[in-house]
Amino acid sequence: MLAQPKPADGILLVDKKSGLTSHDVVERFRRRTKVKKAGHTGTLDPLATGLLVLCVGKATRLQAYLMGMEKTYEGTIQFGWATDSYDAAGEPVGEPVEADVEHIDFTPHIAKFLGEIEQIPPVFSAKKVQGVRSYELARKGEAVPLAPKRVTVYEFVILGVETSRVRFRVRSSAGTYVRSLAHDLGGSIGIPAHLKELRRTAIGSFSVEQAIAFDRLVEDTTEQILAPPHFQPLSAIELPLERLRIDWAQQGKMMQGQGVIMVPTIPVHKGDLLALGNPHDQLVAIGEVVNVLREGGPVEVKPKVVLAG
């Protein structure tokens, strides 16, 4: 009898192509590799291309922590007409207008969308209204009362202007709708606009340059797909959390769901989440500081997610 392949635990960086949903990418990966446990860490619209982070095996327990990482995008805004979805996949709204924007100073308009802002999501989005997806209501022609959401735009840079189109780069918090930024920028300038193209280039410290092309999920073997640099094992994953080292005895307690007493090498507070690695620097668990026994001294940490074992 042939030995069963060892389950893969880690993250896979995929360069999604346009026309596919994020779920399509996950399903293609599952079919090709026969790995049942996989999921993504945040959707990318079908129109968009670029980086999609898939959690595989035990790494699916980290999805909630990876979904909150900041994102970086590059794309094109088309001025002259708006669409109902705020991007090129939607239907035009209103009459098109002349739109030569090469003479416009974008600086004061861009400034309105930097920092922490209130953003109204597009009606054609996956946001739920009384348990129903917003886009489902919009397709039926029903009113979609979406509440504004607080997001943070760290960077919004114009890379180039050509007649009625603008190239840009945005770095923002999770949950930011870049197509809303495109639509709202047009509103600020007074010329209707929509998002024509979008490419996600980074999620936290992960770059699209490390990613495997989507087509290789069809052409490559499982061994080629689950190989670096596009596949990163649990021990190599960089979480947006402070990372601390625990010893083997503490790892054993964590694996049994027990808390440990440790002296952190960095300042921590009650409620902080920590990425805990063993002496081989393998990620063991996500722990929560539940008690500070002495200021600057030992703390009690209990596991929230256990990855070892």
Active site residue 45: yes
Options 9, 45, 87, 272, the catalytic residue: 45
The burial of 300, by beta-carbon neighbours within 10 Å (0-12 exposed, 13-18 middle, 19 or more buried), is given as middle
Q: Considering Cα of 144, then 148, then 152, then 153, what sign does the dihedral take?
A: positive
What the block records as the tokens of 83 is: 């669409």
What is residue 156's three-state secondary structure? strand
| Whole-angstrom distance, CA of residue 116 vs CA of residue 60 | 30
The burial of 16, by beta-carbon neighbours within 10 Å (0-12 exposed, 13-18 middle, 19 or more buried), is given as buried
Q: Which residue has the tokens 């009362």?
A: 145
DSSP 53: E
CA distances to 46, 107, 126, 252 from 174, in Å: 18, 24, 14, 34
Each of the 309 residues of the chain gets a pLDDT tens digit; together they read: 334 445 688 999 999 999 999 999 999 999 999 998 998 988 898 999 999 999 999 999 988 888 889 999 999 999 999 998 899 988 898 889 989 999 999 999 999 999 999 998 877 655 555 555 555 555 655 556 667 889 999 999 999 999 999 999 999 999 899 999 999 999 999 999 999 999 999 999 899 999 999 999 989 999 999 999 999 988 778 888 888 899 999 999 999 999 999 888 888 889 999 999 888 888 889 999 999 988 878 899 999 999 876
- Do the Cβ atoms of 21 and 47 come closer than 8 Å? no
Q: Which domains does the chain have, with CATH numbers?
A: 10-69+205-236 (3.30.2350.10), 71-203 (3.30.2350.10), 242-306 (2.30.130.10)
The pTM of the full predicted model, rounded to 2 decimals, is 0.86
Nearest Cα to 256, choosing from 235, 285, 279, 280? 285
Question: b vs e for 240-251, b when ≥16 Cβ sit within 10 Å of the residue's Cβ?
Answer: eeeebebeeebb
Position 242 scores a pLDDT of 87
The burial of 93, by beta-carbon neighbours within 10 Å (0-12 exposed, 13-18 middle, 19 or more buried), is given as middle
Q: In one letter, which amino acid is 120?
A: I
- Do the Cβ atoms of 237 and 277 come closer than 8 Å? no
Nearest Cα to 285, choosing from 255, 261, 260, 307? 307
| Whole-angstrom distance, CA of residue 85 vs CA of residue 282 | 44
